């Protein structure tokens, strides 16, 4: 299926038969990425007495698995500001549209002491004046190890709060990144980039201009074959009533 869209006063076509998947699958082995000091996710058949929910065991006509995982720790996930607030907010209630024009940019974080940081200046330069609805940040070097890495206690790169503020101020509503968090792993709970992006000033009582309809998607993976530039993003998400949900962001090339 080919559709037409208009962006920045230009007409584009989108071929929906050519999806570019930038999500990481959930597996129950050491190929699954892990963060936040969790164990591997579990996918295992239901067992009730001598009955096992697995066709190959010969006692069931169906495969009938339980899945135990944490959306923040075990792969690609999309979160809303309920991730950092005292009151409950569900990403399923606040993400209501799913197609956005996105700009994919590649950035090599800058060494600052023991940290590696994505700065406002880097983001501004990479966007080159574009004001998309969504931004997809691929960090460099872009190695396959990201697909399987255990990020716990590794001090991964992160986004500066000034960069997150800039992204908010130019009107970007959806931020996607190939890291386990936009914030520093050990930051004493400050969560400066999360707060700056969602414009959350007080976690106890949400300010009126907090961005309830904006999302952060973490632990994506953008293959090197996908070039920087503008895409149509389909932000697919499982309908969990939770602050975060496993998600499957898909890019489609915009053809002039």
What are the CB-based long-range contacts (under 8 Å, 24+) for 38-47? 38/70, 38/73, 38/74, 38/152, 41/67, 41/68, 41/69, 41/70, 41/74, 42/66, 42/67, 42/68, 42/69, 43/67
**Could you give the CA distance from residue 82 to residue 168 in angstroms, rounded to a whole number?**
17
* 247 has a pLDDT exceeding 90: yes
Q: Binning pLDDT at 50, 70 and 90, where does residue 3 land?
A: confident
**Could you give the CA distance from residue 212 to residue 216 in angstroms, rounded to a whole number?**
11
Percent of the chain with pLDDT over 70: 100
Q: Where are the domains of the chain?
A: 2-26+71-255
Q: Where is pLDDT greater, at 206 or 227?
A: 227
User: What digits encode the pLDDT tens for the residues 168-218?
Assistant: 999 999 999 999 999 999 999 999 999 999 999 988 889 999 999 999 999
Q: Binning pLDDT at 50, 70 and 90, where does residue 5 land?
A: confident
* 2 has a pLDDT exceeding 90: no
* 129 has a pLDDT exceeding 90: yes
* 160 has a pLDDT exceeding 90: yes
Average the pLDDT over 238-248 and give the result.
98
User: What digits encode the pLDDT tens for the residues 50-104?
Assistant: 999 999 998 899 999 999 999 999 999 999 999 999 999 999 999 999 999 999 9
Distance, CA of 178 to chain centre: 7
For residue 237, give the H/E element and its range. strand 229-237
**Residue 136, pLDDT score:** 98
* 7 has a pLDDT exceeding 80: no
Rounded to two decimals, what is the model's pTM? 0.96
CA angle at 28 for the pair 73 and 237, rounded to the nearest 5°? 55
Q: State which CATH number among 3.30.479.30, 3.40.250.10, 3.50.30.50, 1.10.540.10 fits the domain covering 2-26+71-255.
A: 3.50.30.50
Average the pLDDT over 119-146 and give the result.
97
* 8 has a pLDDT exceeding 90: no
């Amino acid at each position: 299926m080919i559709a037409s869209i208009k962006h920045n006063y230009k007409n584009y076509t989108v071929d929906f038969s050519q999806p570019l998947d930038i999500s990481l699958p959930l597996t129950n082995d050491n190929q699954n990425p892990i963060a936040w000091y969790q164990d591997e996710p579990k996918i295992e058949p239901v067992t009730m007495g001598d009955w096992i929910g697995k066709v190959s065991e010969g006692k069931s006509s169906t495969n009938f698995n339980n899945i135990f995982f944490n959306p923040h720790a075990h792969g690609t996930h999309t979160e809303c500001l309920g991730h950092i607030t005292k009151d409950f907010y569900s990403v399923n209630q606040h993400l209501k549209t799913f197609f956005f024009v996105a700009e994919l940019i590649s950035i090599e974080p800058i060494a600052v002491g023991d940290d590696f940081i994505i700065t406002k200046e880097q983001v501004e330069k990479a966007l080159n004046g574009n004001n998309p609805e969504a931004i997809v940040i691929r960090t460099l070097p872009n190695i396959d190890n990201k697909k399987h890495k255990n990020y716990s206690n590794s001090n991964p790169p992160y986004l500066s709060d000034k960069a997150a503020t800039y992204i908010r101020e130019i009107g970007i509503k959806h931020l996607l990144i190939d890291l386990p968090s936009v914030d520093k792993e050990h930051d004493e709970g400050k969560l400066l980039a999360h707060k700056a992006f969602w414009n959350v000033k007080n976690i106890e009582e949400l300010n009126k201009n907090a961005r309830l309809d904006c999302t952060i998607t973490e632990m994506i993976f953008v293959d090197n074959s996908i070039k920087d530039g503008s895409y149509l993003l389909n932000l697919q998400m499982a309908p969990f009533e939770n602050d975060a949900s496993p998600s499957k962001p898909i890019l489609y090339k915009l053809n002039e």
